[in-house]
Chains A and B, each alone.
Chain A
Amino acid sequence: MTALRTEPAFADPDAAYAALVAAHRGATEVESAALNARLVLILSNHIGDIGVLREAIRLAQTAGGGRLGPRDAV
């Protein structure tokens, strides 16, 4: 099973970050949340590996200060 990559993967990481920022420009909070949800789904599917997805979720939860710990998915 592939492990989650946390080393820089983009040739130009600043361009990637800028693309994400630009995507949200002009959006309200509600629109941004909806956009992020769609983007997460699109990119998750592109990765297509449940092990990588779970690791990514764990990293995202940890980096958020750990209040939202791992939950048993149904």
Chain B
Amino acid sequence: MNEPNARKTVFQFGYRRCKDQDAPSPVRRPVVIVGAGPVGLTAAIDLAQRGIPAVILDDADRIGEGSRAICFSKRSLEIMGRLGLGDRLVEKGVTWKLGKVFLGEHQVYSFDLLPEAGHRMPAFINLQQYYLEGYLVDRAAELPAIDLRWRNRVAGVENHDGFVRLTIETPEGRYQLDADWCLACDGARSAVRDFLGLQFVGHTFEERFLIADVKMSAEYPTERWFWFDPPFHSGQSALLHRQPDNVWRIDLQLGPDADPEEEKKPERVLPRLKRMLGERQFELEWVSVYRFNCARLAKFVHGRVVFVGDSAHQVSPFGARGANSGIQDAENLVWKLALVLNGQAPESLIESYDLERGQAADENIGHSTRSTDFIAPRTNPERVLRNAVLELAPHAAFARRMVNSGRLSVASRYDTPLSSPDRETFAGSARLGLPVPDAPLADRNGKQHFLLETLSDQFELLYVKNGARPNVPDGIRLKVIGEDFLDPQGAFAERFDATPGAAYLLRPDHHLCARMRVYDGGRVREALARAKGLLT
């Protein structure tokens, strides 16, 4: 997004001098993360849980107001669960899975993002970004391996052979810090990207959107509501989301010629909101006017600098593919980085982050571009076609399916050399390259669990009981379904197309990388080596 406005502080932190500032020569750290936003904090917590110390540098010392990213996906929540804050987020957040799309006052389309039961996490929660960041900072504070340095602004980046030298500006002057690996998690206007002289290539949409946080009591159901051409905002579109604390997020399309400074003024904003909200009392908490970009770096890995999140790729918000993809980026990178730093995988494994998350970025850019173009057609001929879809929608199901107000973020599936191709056929929803589906399980005492929360952050083999427990190779944790955990509802069997003796190898990020009908130690050993990048 181009134009954040001045924000009030929600959480305040402070600058503290660190020992590295007094060292006679630059101290070397294994990982330095630039940016303490959702992506940098996620990466740091995951690294710390894997025993890797991380320094985080942030040029600010506060978490500001403004809801910003609010829709956090099931996959993000599953990742947050592994990092120890899933429950806190779901507790505070507003859970939703249904969406409705209106043309004028009439509903033309609805969708259910999680029609299937038996999953721990909901399809989505809405939660202001400042809460997510605040909770991530709280979690980071529990981990001594994380050194979070506020008011440390990166003023220079030099990529050397085998390390990165950072020049850092603080209220007490400059110092230098060396990192084996530098994670650039510093957002859409990444300073690290600029210092390395890298091009962020993409498209800026001309259309302007007004985004507002409005505090009010309202009885709208907890659903994502999107309007094309509503009576309260003729010829344009509108989006409504519930957030915690009786705060509602409203997006109003303004057209390409809107003047951002004028439109942010209360005398412009309040009448628009009154037209939408009628007689309801409301308070305007935050407002901003944005244009959106879809853009990406050609490569996300440059020497020992790795770009993660919006610094690597940017999307328009329809579909909630911004923060959610950054969180998945961090998850994809960190287990690989930990293996490399521990000498258990070659440095070339980091290339697979570029490959896999590059695929995800292309998919996210593709979807969010299509959605934005449908909402704001670029030319008159495009508008004619878009309107044709809307006109047909009340009359034909195919047209309803074409109405595109946003295709919401789902877990990424990787077409990757780290996966071992299937040699047998498997039905069900589990697929190579996808995170394994969640499933309700019972332990031997009959207590209910969900599969994903039982998984560690190491390689895991799920084996469907058929006689003796297999001897799995070192570095793999074994879980026997039918012994360690039971599948009373048959959900595991259905989702994994499980038969006795079948084995499923999961990466540390829970993406499925190999499976077989009959456990075979040799195949598993090979699949493990392949997943660590040892076979290229």
Instruction: Identify A34's interface contact among B369, B370, B373, B391, CB under 8 A.
Output: B391
Instruction: State the Cβ distance, B379 to closest chain A Cβ, in Å.
Output: 12
Bound together, the chains give a CA A37 to CA B388 distance in angstroms of 6
- Say yes or no: is B366 at the interface (Cβ < 8 Å to chain A): yes
Kindly provide the distance from the CB of A6 to the nearest chain B CB, expressed in whole angstroms. 24
Could you tell me if A37 and B396 are in contact, using CB atoms closer than 8 angstroms? no
Are B384 and A34 in contact, CB atoms less than 8 angstroms apart? yes
For the complex, is A60 an interface residue (Cβ under 8 Å from B)?
no
Check B388–A38 contact: CB distance below 8 A.
yes
Assess the B396–A74 pair: CB atoms within 8 A: no
B101 at the interface (CB under 8 A from A): no
Query: Are A74 and B391 within 8 A (Cβ)?
Result: no
Task: Choose from B366, B384, B392 the contact partner of A74 (Cβ within 8 Å).
Answer: B366
Given the known A-B contacts A41-B402, A74-B369, are A34 and B396 also in contact in the complex, defined by CB atoms under 8 Å?
no
Are A34 and B398 within 8 A (Cβ)? no
- Contact of A42 with B by CB under 8 A: yes
A37 touches B385 (CB 8 A): yes
| CB proximity to A under 8 Å, residues B374-402 | 381, 384-385, 387-389, 391-392, 396, 398-399, 402
Chain B min CB distance to A45 (Å)? 4
B369→A37 contact, CB < 8 A: no
- DSSP majority for the A interface? helix
Question: Judging by beta carbons under 8 Å apart, are A38 and B373 in contact?
Answer: no
Q: Which residue of A lies closest to B399 (CB)?
A: A41
Shortest distance from the beta carbon of A26 to any chain B beta carbon, whole Å: 18
Residues of A within 8 A of B387 (CB): 34, 37
Contact B373 A74 (CB under 8 A): yes
Residues of chain B at interface, number, CB under 8 A:
16
B305 to chain A, nearest CB (A): 29
Q: Min CB distance, B378 to chain A, in Å?
A: 11
- Bound state CA distance, A41 and B390, in angstroms? 11
B370 contacts across to A, CB distance below 8 A: 74
Q: Which of B366, B373, B381, B396 contacts A42 (CB 8 A)?
A: B396
Q: Kindly supply a per-residue 1/0 record for chain A positions 46-74, scoring 1 wherever the CB is within 8 Å of any chain B CB and 0 otherwise.
A: 00000000000000000000000000001
- Asked if A23 is at the interface (CB within 8 A of a chain B CB), the reply is no
CA separation between A74 and B371, bound complex, in Å?
Answer: 11
**Chain A residues whose C-beta falls within 8 Å of the C-beta of B385 in the assembled complex:** 37, 40-41
CA distance A40 to B366 in the complex (A): 23
Query: Is A33 interfacial (CB 8 A cutoff)?
Result: yes
- Assembly CA distance A33 to B391 (angstroms): 13
Which residues of A from 12 to 49 have beta carbons under 8 Å from B?
Answer: 33-34, 37-38, 40-42, 45
Closest to A30 in B: B384
User: How far is B386's CA from A37's CA once the two chains are assembled, in angstroms?
Assistant: 9
Q: For A38, what are the chain B residues with a Cβ–Cβ distance below 8 Å? A: 388, 391-392
Which residues of chain B are near A33, meaning CB under 8 Å? 381, 384
Q: Which residues of chain B come closer than 8 Å to A40, judged between CB atoms?
A: 385, 388
The answer on a CB contact under 8 Å between A41 and B388 is yes
Q: How far is the CA of A42 from the CA of B366 in the complex (A)?
A: 24
- Within 8 Å by CB of A41, from B366, B369, B381, B392, lies B392
**Bound Cα distance A41, B385 (Å):** 8
Bound: A70/B422 CA distance, A: 36
| Contact A34/B388 with A41-B399, A42-B396 known, Cβ cut-off 8 Å | yes
Asked whether A41 lies within 8 Å of B384 as measured between CB atoms, the reply is no
The CA of A54 and the CA of B384, in the complex, are separated in Å by 20
Residues of chain B contacted by A74 (CB below 8 angstroms) = 366, 369-370, 373
- Are A45 and B384 touching (Cβ within 8 A)? no
A32 to chain B, nearest CB (A): 10
**What is the minimal beta-carbon distance from B29 to any residue of chain A, in angstroms?**
41
Q: Is there contact, CB below 8 Å, between A45 and B398?
A: yes
- Chain B CB within 10 Å, residue with most, of A33, A45, A74: A74
A16 to chain B, nearest CB (A): 21
Residues of A within 8 A of B373 (CB): 74
CB distance from B269 to the nearest CB of A (A): 32
A37 to B399, CA, bound (A): 12
By a CB distance below 8 angstroms, the chain A residues around B381 are: 33
A41 and B388 alpha carbons, distance in the complex (Å): 8
Which B residue sits closest to A74, measured CB to CB? B369
State the Cβ distance, A73 to closest chain B Cβ, in Å. Answer: 9
CB distance from A5 to the nearest CB of B (A): 21
Q: A33 to B384, alpha carbons, bound, how many Å? A: 7
A31 CA to B6 CA, complexed, in Å: 47
- List chain B residues, Cβ under 8 A from A34: 384, 387-388, 391
For the complex, what is the distance from the CA of A38 to the CA of B398, rounded to whole Å? 12
Contact bitstring B179-194, A, C-beta under 8 A = 1, else 0:
0000000000000000
Contact A37 B384 (CB under 8 A): yes
Q: Which residues of A are found within 8 Å of B398, using beta-carbon distances? A: 41, 45
Please give me the 9 A-B residue pairs with the lowest Cβ-Cβ distance, nearest first: A37-B388, A45-B398, A38-B388, A74-B369, A37-B384, A37-B385, A33-B384, A41-B388, A74-B366
Q: Show 23 residue pairs from A and B whose CB-CB distance is below 8 angstroms, ordered by the A residue.
A: A33-B381, A33-B384, A34-B387, A34-B388, A34-B391, A37-B387, A37-B388, A38-B388, A38-B392, A40-B388, A41-B385, A41-B392, A41-B398, A41-B399, A41-B402, A42-B392, A45-B396, A45-B398, A45-B399, A74-B366, A74-B369, A74-B370, A74-B373
Give 20 A-B pairs besides A34-B384, A41-B399, A45-B399 with Cβ atoms closer than 8 angstroms.
Answer: A33-B381, A33-B384, A34-B387, A37-B384, A37-B387, A37-B388, A38-B388, A38-B392, A40-B388, A41-B388, A41-B389, A41-B392, A41-B402, A42-B392, A42-B396, A45-B396, A45-B398, A74-B366, A74-B369, A74-B373
